Structure 1
Amino acid sequence: MTLNIALLGTGRIAEYGYIPAINKIDDVSIISVLSRSHAKGSEFAIKHSIPKAYVEIDDLLEDKLLDAVIVCTPDSLHEEQVIKSCRARKHILCEKPMATGVKSCENMIFEIEKAGIIFGMAHNNRFNAGLRYIKDALDSNLIGQVYYARAMLTTLQNDPSGWRALGKESKFWAMSATGAHMIDIFRWYFGEPTKMKKISLSPKFKSINDEITTLSLNFNEKIICDITASAILPPVNRIEIYSNDNSIIGENVFGIKTDERIYHNDEKVMIEPISSFFGEVVDFTNAIIKGVEPRSTYKDGIENIRIMTDALSNGN
């Protein structure tokens, strides 16, 4: 059985994340791509040997050979594209964040449940080897009671004209690009936060959306997790976990291509890095074949958006 997939979007994630991952998987094929530009879509399709390119999602979804779509378009487009895909009975893997607000997520979830399709939330970092080592260490109680954790993930984008910066297609810049990843990992590790505090600034370009955000999450008065996301600082990619007498430090653990290094109590841990997108797509396609939930679902998507929007309304 071959699963036929369409890519919605022709950006960096589609080209450098999903296409190389899918090309490594037997019995999974990309048969179409959606782009807002006919010229760009056709060029992308030719470059990657994709049979069809579309500018209208309705036309793409009419293909009876299509089994699933991967949504990697700007945040504000997710709701409409997911709902239309549900009504066409296509399985969905949706890039983070799930949407721009909680209400949009609720509308999507209604259609997902009504259609009975498999919906995967694209939190690819759950498949990176270093972050999985930390998850296993926490679940096995190898580190004891954690009291504090922090993560910093920054990208030197410096593009004030990009869709995340302008505000029309996203309510977040730094938090959409990198903050959502760190929120998801800490939720995966520790559950749902009970309190939060946020500071956001846009000091360089004066963007309508955040250029730098620091978010503190309080997990049941037991654990504090600090997150720093930035779209204007030089690259930093790090996570730290601390208990009373243990620590785990991870370097370069987030992203498409990682050179992961994990130190448990200052001793380097031997891990075998893999493509997180490969792991994510394998998980998603297995969920379709077996009729089970993928590792990250719409429940994770809406909770992440709830945290992001609550922080947006409660912070500076």
Structure 2
Amino acid sequence: MDQIKWGIIGCGNVTEVKSGPAFNKVENSGLVAVMRRDAEKAADYAERHNVPKWYSSADDLINDPEINAIYIATPPDAHEELAIKAMRAGKPVYIEKPMARNAAECDRINEESRKTGVPVFVAYYRRSLDYFQKVKELIDNKVVGDVRFVNICLQWQPYDEEVGENAKPRWRVDPSISGGGHFHDLASHQFDFLEYVFGPVKYAAGIARNQAGLYEADDIVVANFEFESGILGNGSWCYTVNKEQREDVARIIGSKGRISFSFFEKFDIKVETETGTEVLNIPYPAHVQQQLIDQIVRDLRGEGKSPSTGETGARANLIMDWITKK
């Protein structure tokens, strides 16, 4: 492939800044068309982002002869069906995370990729961001010695639409659409990055419960996990604390120190060793998916390899299935 001409299925909020504009900013890449079931919203998005074409039918976009790669940015319940349709049309797919609702759906996507020879990529863009590359570099260079233990703590207050008399929780906490709740949406990023740094998780188990009753999905999860390397880890995720308790911190404990960083909200990396404490500040770029999209375009052009594929993307779903006992 020479020029990668993208079509987006599901041009919702995630595509407004994080991903959508990046397709036109990457060399040898361009956004040709977008699709949304609401034709008015599809047309509005196309106009605002200067996209030449829009559709209200996914099939019409997939079959557009001008498009040769497809970004699936719908909720996870549609990922498997749309990815398989696109691959059968011979078009590589870039799928929003999590890759699907569960590991079984991911496996079927990857099986179709092997069958058709059409590649799959997943939007685990932390594998490409400078902030997380620095965390990996610190670990690889043994700045804190040999890693012994990983700890994740994510505590958030409920979203406004999840509380009150007129509460209307969004699709992310409807397991039939998302596969789970906020844990599936956010922990997927965390486990994907941890495997990128430390290699495969060979064991994971946990307890997932709904304590507050604000929606159907689990709202609290605790877990233990072990990497094939022997590194151990644990984590806790709670989405019903008050805003004063809000916390997003991951800790890498080594034989000679500790690295603390944030997966979602802060740009600081704190490195503590016997020689003192250093704080590195590395902000995200304007379009957080641009660096990964650039690597995917290079992969499709035969100029490199994307760090995030269907095979790596499926792993996060498998680990979350183990933890929540899906």
Q: What is the TM-score normalised by the length of structure 1?
A: 0.89
Please name the residue that 2:293 is paired with.
281
The amino acid of 1:16's aligned partner reads V
The alpha carbon displacement at 1:155 in A equals 5.2
Asked whether 1:89 is paired with 2:97, we answer no
Aligned to 1:30: 31
Query: Structure 2 vs 1, CA of residues 158 and 197 (structure 1 numbering), >3 Å: closer, same or farther?
Result: farther
Match of 1:309 in 2: 321
Q: CA shift at 1:168, angstroms?
A: 2.1
Gaps of 5+ in 1: none
Is the CA contact (8 Å cut-off) linking 1:3 and 1:67 kept in structure 2?
Answer: yes
TM-score normalised by L of structure 2? 0.87
Q: Which residue of 2 aligns with 1:237?
A: 248
- 1:267 paired residue number: 278
Counterpart pick for 2:194 among 171, 186, 192: 186
Tell whether 2:175 aligns with 1:167. Answer: yes
Corresponding residue number in structure 2 for 1:211: 219
1:80: Cα distance to partner?
Answer: 0.3
Tell me by how many angstroms 1:22 deviates: 2.5
2:161 and 2:319 map into 1 onto residues whose CA distance is: 25
Amino acid of the structure 2 residue aligned with 1:295: P
Determine the C-alpha separation between the residues in 1 that align with 2:53 and 2:153.
39
Superposition map of 1:58-69 within 5 A? 58-69=59-70
The structural deviation recorded for 1:99 is 1.1
1:11 corresponds in structure 2 to 12
**What is the CA–CA distance in structure 2 between the aligned matches of 1:28 and 1:153, rounded to whole Å?**
36
Per the TM alignment, residue 293 of structure 1 is displaced from its structure 2 partner at its CA by 3.7
Which residue of 186, 204, 207 corresponds with 1:199?
207
Using a 3 Å threshold, how does the CA distance of structure 1 residues 88 and 230 change in structure 2: closer, same or farther? farther
Q: Is the Cα contact below 8 Å between 1:202 and 1:211 reproduced in 2?
A: yes
Supply the distance in 2 between the matched residues of 1:76 and 1:22 (Cα, whole angstroms): 24
Note the C-alpha offset of 1:264. Answer: 1.5
Which stretch shows the higher mean deviation, 8-17 or 217-226? 217-226
1:80 aligns with 2:88: no
Partner of 1:71: 72
Give the superposition deviation at 1:59: 0.8
Gaps of 5+ in 2: 163-168
Identify if the C-alpha distance between structure 1 residues 268 and 152 changes in structure 2 by more than 3 Å, giving closer, same or farther.
same
Structure 1 residue 236 displacement after superposition: 3.2
Mapped to 2, the partners of 1:177 and 1:158 lie a distance apart of 17
Q: Which amino acid aligns with 1:27?
A: N
Residue 262 of structure 1 aligns to a residue whose secondary structure is strand
1:92 and 1:120 in contact (8 A); partners too:
yes
1:309 aligned counterpart, secondary structure = helix
Q: Secondary structure of the equivalent of 1:96?
A: coil
Structure 2 contact 267–281 (Cα < 8 Å) conserved: no
What CA deviation, in whole Å up to 9, does each residue of 1:147-175 have, x standing for no partner?
11123345553444211212221221112
1:217 counterpart SS class: strand
The equivalent residue for 1:132 is 133
Tell me, in whole angstroms, the C-alpha distance in 1 between the residues paired with 2:281 and 2:60.
48
Q: What's 2:166 paired with? A: none
CA distance in structure 1 between the partners assigned to 2:151 and 2:110 by the alignment: 31
